[in-house]
Chain A
Amino acid sequence: MSTRTHARTVVITAVLMLGLAACAPASTTPSASQSAGSESPASQSPGATGQVSGTITVFAAASLKATFTQLASDFEAKNPGTRIVLSFAGSSDLVTQITQGAPADVFASADTKNMTKLADAKLLDGTAKDFATNVLEIAVPPSNPASIASFAELAKAGVKVVVCASQVPCGAAADTVEKAAGVTLAPVSEESSVTDVLGKVTSGEADAGLVYVTDVKGAGGKVRGIPFDESGRAVNTYPIATVGSSRNKELAEAFIAMVTGADGKKTLSEAGFGAP
């Protein structure tokens, strides 16, 4: 009697746990752009900026994926013997990971609030530097089925609008813009990340969504962006800083210098980011 009942319990519990565990979305994607084995400190070119070498891990907001991947490989090319490992996720996820001891050398946040959390916890080395800004834009499917032309038209009856929830930066920005415009939206969904909003628009489920200018640019032709004046009332500032526990602060600072310098500005503005 007991053997069978037990066996059944075990199997069922195992399956249950499997099911529950499979729900968490994987959000960090470490990407190493240089192949292993090329890490010899001796091979530094004299013309490179400074005498940096080694490996650092950069935790960056998900919206920086395209630009930081580009910047990291540029940096590695200019500074042989260095390697930048990238991990992208939502800013608040990254803050949690760093607070719990994840080995990050550099943190680039999509808003000042999350950077302040790390500063308050005394987990930063020095102070954070603002390097980019981002504003909201209306994203519609290429055919623009609800014929949206302005922010006020998002409140038209029957328009399926998707925004971010107030708890996440893009949602807080959407709230500010709503107030500034004096328009109250009745969204059909409040997503927990801006990529989810974009996904609902690219798949044609939603008539419109509020995303960042850089998301529209990054989506290529899959969505059409409609800029609106009130977006200037909610400008998101992106700060970057060295993490206090970093074992290679020179390299971390060299990378930050590149992001905040001329090269970084060029790549960032090409992606649609504004200057701080």
Chain B
Amino acid sequence: MRQTRNGGYGGVPRWIYVLAAAGGLFVVLPLAAMVAKVNWTQFIPLVTSEASLQALGLSLRTSAASTVLCIVLGVPLALVLARGSFPGQRFLRSLVLLPLVLPPVVGGIALLYTFGRQGLLGRTLEVAGLQIAFSTTAVVLAQTFVALPFLVVSLEGALRTAGNRYEAVAATLGAGPTTVLRRVTLPLVLPGLASGAVLSFARSLGEFGATLTFAGSLQGVTRTLPLEIYLQRETDADAAVALSLVLVAVAVAVVALAYRSPRAAERAPSGNGERTTPARAPGGAAR
């Protein structure tokens, strides 16, 4: 299906363009309407207020931390899901992807009953002197919870598309599993890993529901940019719009960064959303 363009046949029915234009407008128009609402004379003072800057700084810091956590936890998960073979593998995959479709507030409630003071692990952690509720750690946990599937999906797709031929060759030449992972597998899927990490970062940046439910909202500690926007909206619509624009700008920058190097993306496609079956993967996947 996706090879049709390779043969030179680029015929898309004309009416498809009409619908595509409508789809594009549907996304662009609300953003344009928001930009039109920005109070430009007040824009700089609004976005550089202490509360705004603290919220932006906190958002960037926590998103960076949760992206690191996503990589630490997500790379092994993706490897196990793509290369391993064990009973319940499919079930595990569906579970890992669950936060993608859950409303974030549900994630927040679930985290509350895990890491909260009365939670499953919270009580033990409190005895150990660790308090997670109402701390920046809680924000990072909430963001990681919702962002992890993005990394796992991207990387698992990349791993399957890359196939395991080179790994097999490296192994026959005497490389141990860890060496193969370090010298062959990871370099091969690096672009996929990078785009997964960027997606996780972007998702963390936008996290709202789980943070609100689980971490609370205190300036400089747990009030990230989306929470600040939500609060400002109560009294100062101009500030809310200005901050929304900042968040959009950061998101655009992040996404642009992810697609800056098309060459890298071409060499090893992340294969997001086009999970090839294991039977097809070793064949080099349509390349």
A23 to B229 CA separation, bound complex (whole angstroms): 12
Separation in Å of the A20 CB from the closest CB of chain B? 5
- Given A19-B206, A205-B117: A190 touches B266 (CB 8 Å cut-off): no
Residues 41-80 of chain A: 1 if any B CB is under 8 Å from the residue's CB, otherwise 0?
0000000000000000000000000000000000000000
Residues 185-215 of chain A: 1 if any B CB is under 8 Å from the residue's CB, otherwise 0?
0011111100010011001111000000000
Q: Is the CB of A192 within 8 A of B231?
A: yes
Q: Is the CB of A189 within 8 A of B269?
A: no
| Chain B residues within an 8 Å CB radius of A23 | 104, 206-209, 226
| Chain A residues within an 8 Å CB radius of B227 | 192
Query: B262 interface residue, CB < 8 Å from A?
Result: yes
A23 to B218 CA separation, bound complex (whole angstroms): 19
Q: Is the CB of B273 within 8 A of A190?
A: no
| Chain A residues within an 8 Å CB radius of B202 | 16
Query: B54 interface residue, CB < 8 Å from A?
Result: no
Say which residue of A7, A192, A203 sits within 8 Å of B230 (CB atoms).
A192
| Chain B residues within an 8 Å CB radius of A1 | 262, 266
Say which residue of B208, B219, B235, B251 sits within 8 Å of A190 (CB atoms).
B219
Query: A108 interface residue, CB < 8 Å from B?
Result: no
Q: Is the CB of B216 within 8 A of A5?
A: no
Q: Is the CB of B234 within 8 A of A22?
A: no
Chain B stretch 94-124: residues in CB contact (< 8 A) with chain A: 100, 103-105, 112-113, 116-118
- Given A8-B265, A23-B207: A168 touches B112 (CB 8 Å cut-off): no
| Chain A residues within an 8 Å CB radius of B118 | 203-205
Q: Is the CB of A204 within 8 A of B199?
A: no
Say which residue of B146, B150, B207, B234 sits within 8 Å of A92 (CB atoms).
B234
| Chain B residues within an 8 Å CB radius of A8 | 195, 265, 269-273
Residues 224-242 of chain B: 1 if any A CB is under 8 Å from the residue's CB, otherwise 0?
0011001111111100000
A92 to B231 CA separation, bound complex (whole angstroms): 11
Q: How many residues of A contact B (CB 8 A)?
A: 42
Closest to B259 in A: A9
Closest to A160 in B: B134
Residues 14-34 of chain A: 1 if any B CB is under 8 Å from the residue's CB, otherwise 0?
011111101111000000000
A78 to B255 CA separation, bound complex (whole angstroms): 58
Q: Is the CB of B231 within 8 A of A167?
A: yes
| Chain A residues within an 8 Å CB radius of B265 | 5, 8
Q: How many residues of B contact A (CB 8 A)?
A: 57
| Chain B residues within an 8 Å CB radius of A35 | none
Q: Is the CB of A16 within 8 A of B134?
A: no
| Chain B residues within an 8 Å CB radius of A199 | 213
Chain A stretch 161-179: residues in CB contact (< 8 A) with chain B: 162, 165, 167-168
A25 to B109 CA separation, bound complex (whole angstroms): 14
Say which residue of A4, A191, A196 sits within 8 Å of B269 (CB atoms).
A4
Query: A13 interface residue, CB < 8 Å from B?
Result: yes
A92 to B27 CA separation, bound complex (whole angstroms): 27
Q: Is the CB of B269 within 8 A of A13?
A: no
| Chain A residues within an 8 Å CB radius of B271 | 8
Query: Known pairs A5-B265, A167-B232. 4 more at Cβ < 8 A?
Result: A20-B206, A167-B234, A191-B216, A206-B134
- A selection of 30 A-B contacts at a CB cut-off of 8 Å is A2-B5, A3-B2, A4-B2, A4-B266, A8-B195, A8-B271, A12-B258, A15-B199, A16-B203, A18-B100, A19-B146, A20-B251, A23-B206, A90-B234, A92-B233, A92-B235, A162-B216, A165-B234, A167-B231, A167-B235, A168-B231, A189-B217, A190-B216, A191-B217, A199-B213, A204-B116, A204-B117, A204-B118, A205-B117, A205-B216
Give B residues with C-beta under 8 Å from A: 2, 5-6, 27, 100, 103-105, 112-113, 116-118, 133-134, 146, 150, 195, 199, 202-203, 206-209, 212-213, 215-219, 222-223, 226-227, 230-237, 251, 255, 258-259, 262, 265-266, 269-274
